[in-house]
């Protein structure tokens, strides 16, 4: 473990849909959380790789055994293949950030990884096992806490991090958040995709639809509230490309997360000391990829009206806000602390 340049600090946002890394060498990278192994010799010859990661794996999905090894931001259980996929994914991500784990120039890596707010100790231990050998010292924190730390919003704020697998909540009260300060819901990007697909299959029984198509349509056209224009997409029907109007289904799927998120915010706010509740209501921070759905921020803000109203701000860069927060934590932690985590 020799590195004359000193340790490389990294912050990692381990997402169900995307994994992002921010490193102290200036690198910021994001990959889709997919890993694929060629299904047979033919596929291996065509793909010329033994394993594919990210977008490449998704695009080659007909030729690979495709794994999305993170389920709601946590390692899936019960499959050696998924565990291996997580290792491959993290290795690829760290590689993109400039980490070298072989040879004389092996990088000494200190990583802070964000996980869902209510991840259990067993999940954290699994993650530690998966990262063994890939990093030299590891700190695991809740994703919304990492966001709050990165934004210096550690006092009187509420972070709502809407990802693909989970929506994580964290009230910051000037201390390391406890379980009572945090919540995790699985109403998030994936639940929207699943609902959209279900509704479209019910309406267009003959259309050939997949979860990948539903996800892509949500990412391109998702909205909450009044439609600005009708949303029309193309999908095969008995092999023939056919135009489908998905406006109503898309709106209803996207709006399905509004009520649970609003309810959870309203449940958390009364737990704050009464004199600080207004401050927290006016300092709600919205992050995560799914928070980018058009009209969502306004709908959630409207949901705070019955409890006195509030102000919800969206972060500037939802893709890297979590990993940037992790990096800030990694940099701020003194060597003596890292020694305990090695």
Partner 1 sequence: MSHSSSLKRNILRQAVAENVSTRKGELPKARRRPKAADEPQRSAWRLWLFAVPVLVLLVALPLMRRAPTAQAGPPPEPGGLTMAAPVDPRMDLRYSAPQPIDSDVFPLEVRRIVIDPGHGGDDTGTVDHDLVEKDLTLDIGQRLANLLREQGYEVLLTREDDRKLSLRERADMANEQHSDLFVSIHVNWIGHRGIRGVETYFLGTTEDPELKELARRENRESGYSLADMKLLLEGIYTGVRRDASRQFAGRVQRSLYSSLRQVNPKLENRGVKTAPFVVLVSTEMPAILAEVSCLSNREEARLLSRPLYRDHIAEALFRGIRGYADDVNQTEEKGS
Query: Can you give the binding site for partner 1, defined by CB under 8 A?
Result: 71-72, 74, 76-77, 116, 118, 120-125, 128, 138-141, 145, 149, 152, 154-155, 174-176, 179, 183-186, 260, 263-264, 267, 329, 332-333, 337, 340-341
Angle subtended at Cα 23 by Cα 17 and Cα 24, rounded to the nearest 5 degrees:
165
155 or 237, CB closer to partner 1? 155
Minimum distance from CB of 7 to partner 1 (Å)? 16
At which residue do the structure tokens 């709006």 appear? 255
Minimum distance from CB of 176 to partner 1 (Å)? 3
**C-alpha of 235 from chain center:** 28
127 or 235, CB closer to partner 1? 127
Minimum distance from CB of 173 to partner 1 (Å)? 10
- Token code pair at residue 194: 């699943």
40 or 152, CB closer to partner 1? 152
230 or 340, CB closer to partner 1? 340
Kindly provide the residue ranges of all beta strands, DSSP E only, lying in 117-231, ordered along the sequence.
Answer: 137-142, 155-162, 167-173, 182-185
Phi, psi of 194 (to 5 degrees): -65, -40
> How far is residue 19's CA from residue 25's CA, in Å, rounded to a whole number?
18
Is the distance from CB of 283 to CB of 269 less than 8 angstroms?
A: no
30 or 70, CB closer to partner 1? 70
> How far is residue 115's CA from residue 81's CA, in Å, rounded to a whole number?
21
Neighbouring C-beta atoms of residue 333, cutoff 10 Å:
17
24 or 242, CB closer to partner 1? 24
Based on DSSP, count helices (H) and strands (E) in the chain, helices before strands: 13, 17
Minimum distance from CB of 124 to partner 1 (Å)? 6
Adjacent-strand bridge partners of 197: none
Minimum distance from CB of 252 to partner 1 (Å)? 17
Minimum distance from CB of 18 to partner 1 (Å)? 19
Is the distance from CB of 35 to CB of 182 less than 8 angstroms?
A: no
149 or 320, CB closer to partner 1? 149
Minimum distance from CB of 139 to partner 1 (Å)? 5
């Amino acid at each position: 473990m020799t590195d004359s340049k000193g340790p490389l600090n990294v912050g990692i946002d381990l997402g169900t849909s995307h994994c992002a890394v921010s490193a102290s060498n200036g690198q910021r990278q994001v990959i889709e959380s997919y890993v694929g192994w060629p299904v047979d010799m033919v596929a291996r010859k065509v793909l010329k790789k033994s394993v594919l990661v990210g977008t490449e794996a998704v695009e080659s999905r007909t030729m690979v055994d495709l794994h999305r090894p993170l389920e709601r931001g946590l390692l899936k259980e019960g499959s050696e293949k998924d565990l291996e996929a997580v290792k491959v994914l993290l290795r690829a991500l760290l590689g993109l950030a400039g980490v070298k784990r072989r040879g004389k120039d092996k990088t000494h890596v200190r990583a802070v990884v964000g996980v869902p707010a209510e991840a259990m100790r067993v999940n954290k231990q699994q993650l530690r096992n998966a990262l063994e050998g890939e990093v030299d010292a590891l700190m695991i924190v809740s994703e919304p806490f990492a966001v709050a730390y990165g934004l210096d919003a550690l006092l009187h704020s509420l972070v709502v991090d809407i990802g693909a697998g989970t929506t994580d909540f964290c009230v910051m009260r000037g201390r390391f958040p406890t379980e009572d300060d945090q919540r995790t819901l699985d109403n998030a990007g994936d639940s929207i995709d699943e609902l959209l697909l279900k509704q479209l299959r019910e309406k267009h029984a003959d259309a050939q639809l997949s979860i990948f198509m539903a996800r892509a349509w949500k990412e391109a056209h998702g909205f909450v509230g009044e439609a600005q224009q009708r949303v029309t997409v193309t999908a095969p029907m008995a092999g023939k490309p056919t135009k489908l109007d998905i406006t109503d289904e898309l709106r209803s799927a996207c709006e399905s997360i509004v009520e649970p998120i609003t309810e959870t915010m309203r449940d958390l706010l009364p737990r704050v000391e009464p004199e600080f509740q207004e401050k927290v209501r006016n300092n709600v921070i919205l992050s995560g990829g799914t928070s980018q759905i058009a009209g969502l921020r306004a709908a959630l803000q409207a949901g705070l009206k019955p409890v006195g109203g509030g102000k919800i701000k969206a972060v500037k860069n939802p893709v890297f806000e979590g990993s940037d927060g992790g990096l800030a934590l990694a940099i701020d932690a003194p060597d003596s602390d890292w020694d305990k985590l090695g």
